[in-house]
Structure 1
């Protein structure tokens, strides 16, 4: 059992680890080439760009859960239909989102706090990303579906090759040829294109082909996928909602230096989140299949392993961030003012990292086992808590209130997650 578990977990975690490394390196390149302005621009633009990836991930993970649940229950035809309808949803939804962001991107960027040169750079990044939005959505959606078919290593290679090319192109297009955020966007799209090519080759194989009959949209299949997709979409996109709110309050209480400081901290927190997501996404097919088979003993084993790994990674990441807080600004090339803010705020974000190790796997466990109320409560409850906290705490604590927002929210969510898990303890307790 454990061999099978690690066969899913390790490739998935390594894939997201490389994605996280890319994210950090991307920020270093932008910071060194463009300074605080570049970091602020890409950070403000990111919530709009992240919609593309979150859309693909949400649909892909939602379909993966439904495929595994149906296969575990012996409903192979329904599982095939879910996979085919996922492809339909990925293409159609990405085209719609591209149109919306193309026509309304500029006013949305202004609402997010971009102005002057920051607005100009942010819009450049968004426009070049949109040229490959369909590529990114479909690639990010097919990746979990490939992993769900047992092709975890192949899926890892698809993501890894895309990330490696992305890193190489970032260096070339940002530092060698100083194309700024246009170069960063082109590198991202071309990296995702490589991942998509891997996925297309996978699904062109005879044994993996999706029939046109299964691609034809079915109301019940689409509804089932979207119902589950709400949680992984929210889980993937929530950091971007937090970025929006944090950027606005950083601008209000600390200016551009605070926005730049938060951009660096957000890169590091995102890296840790990706590690935990790699663990959770890797475990999802096994959790969903065990749930579909009503195999409580196996479900319990996979669940305990997943939480042990998530919590361990969270504590380790938080500890490293705290210990290395003085070295972090040097790597990113921030101004002295931004560096002081990073050092000051790092302990609060270290706590966030540690608690993510519990809260994020909790969300994944609940949607993987089709407990959608619990997963949605944790995901969208975090949004509400973040909004309420970040609008009130800075009134009293000023910029410190901005830094303490995320730790406060994660403490509340951790308590809620534990209560939910204790309520569902019987589900993973085998009968004597």
Structure 2
């Protein structure tokens, strides 16, 4: 942040963040669009099996970048500019370390991982073709997503959005070239994604350090255990928000294969393209307001924190209601966009009708997660994020299909989100009661709580 922000800048931060988060999820959607039209249901099923691998890289980058940016902005709000610069330098160090480690690990183990995820035969061959290129370009994925939160927390919200738009445009052009013209199949889709993410990383770095005074000193890059531990602890929340849908995809793929085979997996892939886009758009509200929340929390300004939360709640409820309506109205059109077969399209239509009613609850839980990690109430945030993929969804994915078959898989989404939204409401009440209302939120500004 180049100067002290104000709560009146709510939409200046939130709207670009919403678009940037949505665009970050479009890489898989674009791949799915071209794969669906050039390869068909087998390709859609393969990319759905492989997607958790790519999602883990994106989540590692997002978690590291967002965790570091919270520490950086909180210290800036406290008036500790040197500590803020050290947080930036250490975030860059962790991003580089993760990039190197994940490249090596994935190149060694990507095939066993895909087999664990349920791929076999032709499905394994197609998924491996995609994942090998993603593994080679791990650094592009991690840096492409990890640098964007740092830009946003410097107040460069338009720059962050611009980098994402350029990357998405490149991905569309390259997907069309590699798959429709060169007929490179799954390899082409992965190569287009990695190249586009590399462009985002290069643009983000250039905009992040455009001015000399914005660049960290060499000593700021030296790893400091306390800073790294703090940014990783905070980063567990945004990491979980990004990767949790993939944990659910893994579990759901197993159930889809058990109850209907590759056709149901393909239908679930199309469903999750839409649902994940909704989740990212709603997450963009919380991620966008996070720099303001962290700054005012660090500065000991509880009233601004409270006002920003109320604005965010209103926005996510309006937005989620609109998205729910759109999903219901266009439920027969959406599967056609991805070139789904007739049988798959029927499944997607019924799945969208069920999943759509979970969107308002998703909005509440996504905002709760972002709010709690922004004010460094880490335990609350981690609970809201990880209760879904580690407890609620596995339970419902196992139980509901026993009674309703494939329909039970779709029903697991609103069932889990409904309980989670209630839990988030309880945590909000507990938080404000424990702090005596908005007037005493400043008690959190001294560092990590929870």
Bin for the TM-score computed over the shorter chain = over 0.9
Instruction: Report the alpha carbon displacement of residue 3 of structure 1 after superposing the two structures with TM.
Output: 4.1
Counterpart pick for 1:234 among 226, 229, 240: 240
1:166-211 superposed Cα distances (whole Å, 9 cap, x missing partner)? 1111111122221111111111111111111112213253021111
**Structure 2 gap ranges (5+):** 1-5, 441-450
**Residue number in structure 1 paired with 2:366:** 360
1:256 positional shift: 0.8
**What's the counterpart of residue 333 of structure 2?**
327
Q: State the partner residue of 2:447.
A: none
Identify the residue that residue 429 of structure 1 maps to in structure 2.
Answer: 438
2-structure distance, mates of 1:16, 1:255: 32
Which position in structure 2 is the counterpart of 1:205? Answer: 211
CA contact (8 A) 1:20 1:272 kept: no
User: Of 7, 11, 15, which aligns to 1:6?
Assistant: 11
User: What is the TM-score when the length of structure 2 is the normalising length?
Assistant: 0.93
Deviation (angstroms), 1:2: 5.3
Separation in 2, partners of 1:15, 1:285: 15
Correspondence 1:64 to 2:69: yes
Q: Which of residues 245, 249, 259 in structure 1 aligns to 2:265? A: 259
Give the corresponding residue for 1:142.
147
Q: How does 1:363-374 map to 2 (within 5 A)?
A: 363-374=369-380
Aligned to 2:276: 270
**Cα distance, 1:358 vs structure 2:** 1.0
SS in 1 for 2:269: helix
Candidates 395, 408, 432, aligned match of 1:388: 395
Find the counterpart in structure 2 of residue 403 from structure 1.
410
TM-score computed with the length of structure 1 as normaliser: 0.96
Q: Please, which moves more after superposition, 73-82 or 418-427?
A: 418-427
Aligned equivalents of 1:22, 1:127: Cα separation in 2: 17
Structure 1 CA distance, aligned partners of 2:28 and 2:111? Answer: 24
Pairwise CA RMSD: 1.5
Determine the structure 2 residue equivalent to 1:74.
79
How many aligned residue pairs are there? 431
- 1:58 Cα deviation (Å)? 0.2
What SS class does the counterpart of residue 150 from structure 1 fall into?
Answer: coil
The question of whether the paired residues in 2 share the 8 Å contact of 1:312 and 1:357 is answered with no
- Give the Cα separation in 2 of the matches to 1:148 and 1:110: 39
Deviations 1:27-66 (A, max 9, x none): 2211111110010000000001111110000000001111
Cα distance in 1 for partners of 2:93, 2:27 equals 29
**In structure 2, distance between residues paired with 1:175 and 1:301:** 50
Partners of 1:208 and 1:278 lie apart in 2 by: 25
8 Å CA contact 1:28, 1:331 repeated in 2: yes
Between the aligned partners of 1:11 and 1:411, the Cα distance in structure 2 is: 28
Counterpart in the other structure of 1:224: 230
1:35 maps to 2:40: yes
Aligned residue number for residue 138 of structure 2: 133
Matched residues in 1 for 2:368 and 2:315: separation? 12
Q: Decide whether the 8 Å contact of 2:21 with 2:280 is kept in 1.
A: yes
1:348 corresponds to: 354
Aligned 8 A contact 2:63 2:146 in 1 = yes
180-189 vs 195-204, which deviates more? Answer: 195-204
Cα distance in structure 2, aligned partners of 1:2 and 1:166: 35
Aligned residue in 2 for 1:173: 178
* 1:377 Cα deviation after fit: 0.7
Shift of 1:97: 1.6
Within 5 Å, which residues of 2 pair with 1:271-350?
271-350=277-356
